[in-house]
Amino acid sequence: MSDRPETVPKIGPKTVTAAAVIIGDEILSGRTKDQNLGFLAEALNEVGVQLREARVVADVEADIVAAVNALRARFDYVFTTGGIGPTHDDITADSIGAAFGLAVDYNDEAMMILKAHYAHTGAELNEARMRMARTPAGASLVENPVSKAPGFRVENVYVMAGIPSVCQAMFHSLKHELVGGDPVLSLSIAVYLAEGTLAQGLTALQDKYPEVGMGSYPFYREGRFGASIVARSQVADRLAMAGEEIRQMMRDLDGEPIEQE
């Protein structure tokens, strides 16, 4: 029997991933500027979920089905925005039903929510508005504190509104359901040096710190070229070490590191 103490395998950071499907002809035409993707990226990271891919698709059922099915098989969570309103081109509910092979019909709980809401406001719950109560069979609802018409979830796919304020409210209603991993930490350091000057040293540091993602983003300010180096990692001590070496590399090249938010 060996006298050596048992070695406990080192457990790496837990990674949980997500993708987003931004749905709407108005986004692709440029008429509407998407605000949901940036919000989702930041909000998901706060709960330990990394947004790894995003697709923007038209109001075409086959395209929505293809995107959702491809992404739900690859990522832990999928979030869709747009296409759950009262008009004829709001086809997301039917598309999600088609993606999962589920019938779509009026959801009793959603109907109760809409009836109570429109009774309170005095507006008519007409046929168009009732469309917002349709979900795939077995879907669970996502609360909408703003305009009441709910989103819904089927397995690992969350379906939310496209209006940014409503999308954000829906996300805050559902985020307690998400099981996240370790959050990604980041630091950003700028310097008035050209990317080409930094490239060789940055490549060497990336090789030295494989668990730290490093990106270079050039800028031109006040008549001077520079670059921001952004480093991201789930391993805090390695990120801190890489940050120190990035700063020293800049100094060695006669640049002065500038810490950024």
- The pTM of this model reads 0.85
Between 261 and 104, name the one with better pLDDT: 104
Is 152 domain-assigned?
yes
One domain, residues 125 and 247: no
Interatomic CA distance for residues 194 and 250, integer angstroms:
11
One domain, residues 24 and 93: yes
Find out whether 68 and 62 touch, Cβ atoms under 8 Å: no
Indicate the residue among 121, 156, 177 that finishes a domain: 177
Length of the chain: 261
Provide the pLDDT confidence category of residue 23 given band limits of 50, 70 and 90. Answer: very high
Q: Taking residues 37-61, what's their average pLDDT?
A: 96
Is 2 domain-assigned?
no
Is 172 domain-assigned?
yes
Q: Taking residues 182-197, what's their average pLDDT?
A: 94
Is 8 domain-assigned?
no
Is 139 domain-assigned?
yes
Q: Please provide the DSSP assignment of 124-181 as one string.
A: ---HHHHGGGEEETTPEEE--TTT---EEEETTEEEE-SSHHHHHHHHHHHGGG----
One domain, residues 96 and 193: no
3-class state of residue 51 by DSSP: strand
CATH number at residue 88: 3.40.980.10
Tell me what the pLDDT averaged over the chain comes to: 94
Instruction: Residue 115: give the domain boundaries.
Output: 17-177
One domain, residues 125 and 59: yes
One domain, residues 28 and 124: yes
CATH number at residue 215: 3.30.70.260
- pLDDT for position 8: 47
- pLDDT for position 13: 82
One domain, residues 172 and 228: no
Indicate the residue among 177, 200, 215 that finishes a domain: 177
Provide the pLDDT confidence category of residue 10 given band limits of 50, 70 and 90. Answer: low
Is 12 domain-assigned?
no
Provide the pLDDT confidence category of residue 22 given band limits of 50, 70 and 90. Answer: very high
One domain, residues 109 and 190: no
Is 90 domain-assigned?
yes
Number of domains in the chain: 2
Interatomic CA distance for residues 37 and 8, integer angstroms:
40
C-alpha triplet 14, 77, 233: angle, nearest 5°: 35
One domain, residues 192 and 167: no
One domain, residues 90 and 135: yes
Q: State both tokens at 103.
A: 């019938």
3-class state of residue 117 by DSSP: helix
One domain, residues 164 and 94: yes
75 HSE (CA, 13 A, CB side): 23
Is 10 domain-assigned?
no
One domain, residues 38 and 154: yes
Q: Taking residues 61-85, what's their average pLDDT?
A: 98
